[in-house]
Amino acid sequence: MKDVPGTVACIDGNTFIVSDSSGDIESSTAAPVGLFTVDTRYLSRWVLTLNDERMTALSVDDSDYFAAAFFLVPGGRMDYVQADVSAIRRRRIDADLTESITIFNYGERPREVAVRLEVAADFADIFEIKFDVADKTGDLYTEVARDELRLGYRRDTFHREIAITADKPATFTADEIRFAVRLEPGTDWSVELRAEMRSWRPDGVDLRAGPRALRSDPAILPESLRAWVATAPTLDTDSATLRQAYRRSLVDLAALRFAPLSLGGATVPAAGLPWFMTLFGRDSLLTCFQTLPFTPALTPPTLRILASLQGARTDDVLEEDPGRILHELRYGESAAFEEQPHSPYYGTVDATPLFVVLLDEYERWSGDTALVRELEPEARAALTWMARHADLTGAGYLSYQRRNVDTGLENQCWKDSWDSISYADGRLPGFPRSTCESQGYAYDAKVRAARLAREIWRDADLADRLEREAAELYERFNRDFWLEERGWYAVALDSDGTPVDSLTSNIGHLLWSGIVPPERAARVAEHLMSPALFSGWGVRTLAEGQSRYNPLGYHTGTVWPFDNSFIAWGLRRYGLTDAACRIAEGIIEAAAFFEGRLPEAFGGFDRRTTRYPVRYPTAGSPQAWSSGAPLLLLRTLLGLDPHEDHLAAIPALPATFDHVALLDVPGRWGRLDAFARHRPDHPPDTY
């Protein structure tokens, strides 16, 4: 896969189009550009020419996530002098693609303009693009009609098709759509094209017909986006950067909402563009956690769909066990033919405890005990999975070792690339592996489930047992993972119980989970804020000085905004306010370099060296949990937490911000405001 700079995306859940700045799509096998839905590329070429000249964008308006407008002139950038003919290309994505092209003649003489759209569809599965696989097993076909071009792909009963029509007379051929236009001086001409994407069953029913029918009229999309933003709390701050990041986050979270086929129209967050436009257990749970004080409506459908797809059987390809919460659900060809195990894939060690954590956190904010009762069987099954299926070494820890050795994930923690977990000297530990943050999540899940059991499920025995197990885990973990001579926690235990000694960001999540004894928290924070881990923008995934450190390593040195948001929130939990503020400040300032849209990850280079956060080449953007990061950081700055039936706020602002006010924070209290003002008489501690 390769990076595609300067792309423009329009998104509607798992339907999206990524083009260059002139609106054109010219894909190669490895580039994630094109028109996509259900993990399949329906347009791989979509190139506009006027009189055989390619177009150049003078400006692009993509301020709405679902639409874009490209203001174009013919010719390349270098030879543009003055254009009599210009064009506006407007596109809107909903269940399908609608694109209008308007040509203007501002010259003094009539013009004949050959308007041409080159079209191709390779029906590549997103995984074929990711792994650069060019061969298709099935057959591509083209059907040209007088008023329509159909491009399709068939493999046995699997059938995908795109049909392109225009509202003006056109000439359709196998690879282009042509319009012959004559423009008098001062006039314009427009055409609207529609590209409908179908996932045909053999009986001619579209698999997407259900969600399509439940969609609201595309015409009200702008209004529904306004309503989505208006329903979220209002942010009032002197920081233009924070305002921009907040607004962008809310819009991107709206963009990433998608309606899974089996959920009757309810929407959940897709993980991110372009590779992860689908349901991920971990990503959706953590995104919901980050956004609870802002957009709580995302959480109930997410918990419900994960509950409905919770593992029920034992399957070594899907790595399914009873009670396990899924990792990833896909609809593409590779999933359909089980070349990838995503129907759904369960290879994650942490989604199951995080399901319990989110259920409790949601109730703390919302007071919605009905949902806690509704999902009691699934929460109990999740706890049972943790006890019965996840302790692969017998040492009392959540651990993982893939059973699907062909296509399963080696690392089933959030850092899921193959080299993410290593010793300081670079050696890779064996399997089963038990990563530290997973134990934190397990501890937190038990503590929280004990509260739910006691207060809502009215099962004191279960509550007692969970509290006892949590206390035992706390003690065991702090004995086995703590590296006294280093002053940090091992990132993992090797299969034989040896602590994996590298210094990583994972230790920050332990603060979030509360598994760190108070007397150790400051030492953990000291390492998190040390030059080895803290880049000046945020905490690196792996510390400088560790053998595998690389500032552009996916999980071995980059800075992940979502990771930092949980670390900052964890630091606040332990009263380490100044460290929390420094992280919040760094990540929010980084957002300014990405026009408010924090990417999945950025380079771990030292801030004093580069002065700007360096783009990570294949980082996804927008990414749900990166969009959620500014929201959790806002919660961190304001110190927001539900306290019984009230909203507690213990604000702490770094010097960058003079004031931050969050108005109408929703919760069991109705809506309440929170205010923070910087206190110059309260200088930050130093680490």
- State in angstroms the smallest separation of the CB of 281 from other proteins: 11
How many whole angstroms separate alpha carbon 343 and alpha carbon 330?
6
- State in angstroms the smallest separation of the CB of 310 from other proteins: 9
- State in angstroms the smallest separation of the CB of 301 from other proteins: 12
- State in angstroms the smallest separation of the CB of 408 from other proteins: 9
Please answer whether residues 421 and 433 qualify as being in contact, where contact means their C-beta atoms are separated by less than 8 angstroms.
Answer: yes
- State in angstroms the smallest separation of the CB of 257 from other proteins: 18
Which residues, 118 to 137, sit near other proteins by CB under 8 A? 130-131
Determine whether 287 is exposed, middle or buried from the number of CB atoms within 10 Å of its CB (0-12, 13-18, 19+).
buried
- State in angstroms the smallest separation of the CB of 192 from other proteins: 31
Nearer to other proteins, 328 or 360 (CB): 328
- State in angstroms the smallest separation of the CB of 418 from other proteins: 4
Amino acid identity for residue 312 in this structure: A
Q: Does 262 bind other proteins (CB under 8 A)?
A: yes
Length of the chain: 687
Nearer to other proteins, 13 or 639 (CB): 13
Q: Which helix (H) or strand (E) holds 380?
A: helix 376-388
For other proteins, the binding residue among 316, 425, 455, 645 (CB under 8 A) is: 316
For other proteins, the binding residue among 337, 431, 457, 669 (CB under 8 A) is: 337
How many angstroms separate the Cα of 73 from the Cα of each of 68, 176, 559? 16, 20, 39
User: What Rg value do the Cα atoms of the chain yield, rounded?
Assistant: 26
Nearer to other proteins, 16 or 280 (CB): 280
| Pair of tokens at residue 279 | 């349901």
Nearer to other proteins, 111 or 150 (CB): 150
- State in angstroms the smallest separation of the CB of 231 from other proteins: 26
How many whole angstroms separate alpha carbon 383 and alpha carbon 371?
17
Q: Does 276 bind other proteins (CB under 8 A)?
A: yes
Residue from 673, 631, 685, 686 nearest 296 by CA: 631
Which residues, 643 to 672, sit near other proteins by CB under 8 A? none
Nearer to other proteins, 378 or 589 (CB): 378
- State in angstroms the smallest separation of the CB of 407 from other proteins: 6
Angle between helical axes of 281-291 and 629-638 (0-180°, round to 10): 40
Nearer to other proteins, 259 or 653 (CB): 259
Please answer whether residues 140 and 226 qualify as being in contact, where contact means their C-beta atoms are separated by less than 8 angstroms.
Answer: no
For residue 634, report the phi and psi dihedrals to the nearest 5 degrees. -65, -45
How many whole angstroms separate alpha carbon 327 and alpha carbon 347?
6
How do beta strands 67-74 and 25-26 pair?
unpaired
Amino acid identity for residue 97 in this structure: L
- State in angstroms the smallest separation of the CB of 623 from other proteins: 12
Angle between helical axes of 460-480 and 436-455 (0-180°, round to 10): 160
How many whole angstroms separate alpha carbon 293 and alpha carbon 668?
11
Nearer to other proteins, 60 or 409 (CB): 409
- State in angstroms the smallest separation of the CB of 109 from other proteins: 55
Which residues, 183 to 222, sit near other proteins by CB under 8 A? 200-203, 205, 207, 210
The residue to which tokens 């070594």 are assigned: 316
For residue 281, report the phi and psi dihedrals to the nearest 5 degrees. -60, -60
- State in angstroms the smallest separation of the CB of 403 from other proteins: 8
- State in angstroms the smallest separation of the CB of 363 from other proteins: 18
- State in angstroms the smallest separation of the CB of 330 from other proteins: 9
How many whole angstroms separate alpha carbon 664 and alpha carbon 670?
8
| Residues paired with 433 in a beta bridge | 400
Q: Which helix (H) or strand (E) holds 638?
A: helix 629-638
For other proteins, the binding residue among 308, 369, 547, 609 (CB under 8 A) is: 308
The residue to which tokens 């699934």 are assigned: 378
Nearer to other proteins, 25 or 306 (CB): 306
Judged by CB under 8 A, the number of residues near other proteins is: 54
Nearer to other proteins, 309 or 649 (CB): 309
For other proteins, the binding residue among 120, 193, 259, 263 (CB under 8 A) is: 263
**Contact stretch for other proteins (CB under 8 A) within 308-316, 383-391, 526-534, 671-679:** 308-316
What residues contact 268, with CB distance under 8 A and at least 6 apart?
Answer: 257, 258, 260, 279, 284, 298, 301, 302, 305
Which residues, 408 to 467, sit near other proteins by CB under 8 A? 409-411, 416-418
Q: Does 406 bind other proteins (CB under 8 A)?
A: yes
Amino acid identity for residue 263 in this structure: L
**Contact stretch for other proteins (CB under 8 A) within 2-10, 317-325, 461-469, 671-679:** 317-325
**Contact stretch for other proteins (CB under 8 A) within 59-67, 250-258, 315-323, 492-500:** 315-323
Please answer whether residues 287 and 375 qualify as being in contact, where contact means their C-beta atoms are separated by less than 8 angstroms.
Answer: no
The mark string for 369-398 relative to other proteins (x by CB under 8 A, - otherwise) is -----x--x---------------------
**Contact stretch for other proteins (CB under 8 A) within 108-116, 255-263, 471-479, 573-581:** 255-263
For other proteins, the binding residue among 70, 158, 355, 477 (CB under 8 A) is: 158
What residues contact 595, with CB distance under 8 A and at least 6 apart?
Answer: 244, 248
- State in angstroms the smallest separation of the CB of 604 from other proteins: 17
Q: CA angle, corner 618, sides to 425 and 595, nearest 5?
A: 115
Q: Is the peptide bond before 432 cis (omega within 30 degrees of 0)?
A: yes
Amino acid identity for residue 584 in this structure: A
For other proteins, the binding residue among 11, 101, 336, 490 (CB under 8 A) is: 336
How many whole angstroms separate alpha carbon 283 and alpha carbon 303?
12
Residue from 593, 564, 589, 591 nearest 579 by CA: 564
For other proteins, the binding residue among 42, 65, 189, 275 (CB under 8 A) is: 275
CA dihedral (452, 456, 459, 461) in degrees, to 10, reads 30
How do beta strands 111-120 and 176-183 pair?
antiparallel
Nearer to other proteins, 376 or 467 (CB): 376
Nearer to other proteins, 79 or 203 (CB): 203
The mark string for 596-635 relative to other proteins (x by CB under 8 A, - otherwise) is ----------------------x-----------------
How many whole angstroms separate alpha carbon 388 and alpha carbon 308?
20
The mark string for 91-110 relative to other proteins (x by CB under 8 A, - otherwise) is --------------------
For residue 291, report the phi and psi dihedrals to the nearest 5 degrees. -100, 0
Q: Kindly list the residues in this chain that would bind other proteins in the complex (CB under 8 A).
A: 130-131, 155-159, 200-203, 205, 207, 210, 261-264, 275-276, 280, 308-309, 312-318, 320, 327-328, 331, 333, 335-339, 343-344, 374, 377, 406-407, 409-411, 416-418, 554, 618
